[in-house]
Structure 1
């Protein structure tokens, strides 16, 4: 199981940090299913715009992961987390304005995009900061476990936030849902104030961001391919259910998150024990099978089972590759490297929305999940080849 020994004095700090991440990440999870439903429903725009509205957060995060990692390395991870939480709150407040302009869809959508940009900036600084802070607390030898806990908090928040976001949209409108999402990171800010940070590395010699990326890009590409399946579920699963007039449209992220967290809890130790590439190869195969099950489902139960299987498959890929990345660079570059590494996941989330939205308009929502299966299959091949190259190097 994913745990830190009770004899470890850092346990309380790490678990509190993970709890703050879970609470704050609800501000990302709540809008995820609500945005496409609001854009295609009350605003009357098509799926491409819904995908852009969903993906803008992650596209923004791609461009800001490098600066976020640099801030974490130079000024400390706590400073990066605090900045991220402030940006989260600002993004929620700006998005709230889009809910007040339903009668002016173009203006509402532009305001929504501005809010999603701020949320993406927050995602960069908070995400990179929490990972670097957690590794600083627990030590680099527990990188895989820390990343497993971080992912469990994020996807646990997605599992809870998906149905909560749709429920808030139904009962309080889009503005009400955004008001709730803006308040949550403020609670996180209060919680981290008394916590001790980890030492920064302000004077260490730093190579260029591009040179760091040159070391880690194959591992990042695997995470990118994995992320397409999750992005398909996050952006289009609810619309897929609604188009088929199936019940329980809000449970897609819950099923995904349940499988994701279960895998992290039971097998979070595997990357540190058997190696990240081996775990990633098997995980990507499970993800591909889950996406195929969603694509071919003839009823809601099978589709939800496919989302659950997708969560099982996606669960261990990020910590597996993150463990490999953390061991490729020295400590003073860890925040920068993990920032660049995470940007590959943002790339998947940001591009999947508008691109598969275009596909959904022409071929239906089912094809979206077939694309996710194909991407995971390519990831299996890439991770297998990386394992072969690693074996050849050590032979």
Structure 2
């Protein structure tokens, strides 16, 4: 068992949903055994409800969209829908796709779920309490910027601002390799960032060139991604009151690749490019600093990475604490968002025709979701038992 599996298994026994989040590869294998329509589009590859959230658009508007693309790949549209349905029963995907099939290319491309649309949805359902909570969450998301991250994640050491240690979740580079020449490490990071900026548009490359490297730390992230290499990079612009935090995350082979060998690696020079391309295709708007780089790591081995801002009005819903009404509303929003992402890259007219305007798809999807949830519970219990008996090695505490 490799290192990333030990770390992932350490988080998956927390709950059946945590197990589900970490089991994208398991579900991909299960879905590959089921017949599908033959219609394809760009997939998220891991479209469960916790991989949707809010973030800032380049125009500084708060938008709701998919926010995880580590497994993105062209593939059967049903796979994303079934993964979403297995995490939360949904019905709005079908009606949204039929609506998108009636629209022109530009209308579909410009469609997005801004916070105004979410507020209208809450207003239509007459839920003032949920609308107040949503307003509070908006305020929290807008506070998540680089300056706030700088206050929270850094301290002054020997007169210079550095990323503060918070092991094992956040470990500065100097703590990981205390005997290594810091100048050599900085050159390595600067080379990675210089190569990465070539994947940005000219205007954003110019903006990025105004920032200078300050410090770097290893970060532990997610459930499905835990164990992969992820770094937080602190840069300064005009001065230390003008910070920028970037997340440099290792891009591994998609879990869909074993089951979709003819399309999973098409037209991509690296997995970093695959992740970024998928994100740009599926999101209505994307992070202005989103890019990729293949570079040598500290250990001298070449790996693929993608880069994005660490915090830019990012926020996500706590689905575990939602009541039934809240889950229905959130499921409708996620279903619409996923349909829009698929409509951008697939044959939306053919998909809408396949779905039809009846309830057969909704019923079949609900039955699948309930059946797969039962299977997930069984697999979860097997992992818990294997961890307790020592048959499966896990790394807990992360």
TM range (shorter): under 0.3
Q: Which has the larger radius of gyration?
A: 2
Tell me the TM-score normalized by structure 2.
0.23
Compare the two structures and name the one with the higher strand fraction.
2
Larger relative contact order (C-alpha < 8 A, sep ≥ 6)? 2
Tell me the TM-score normalized by structure 1.
0.23
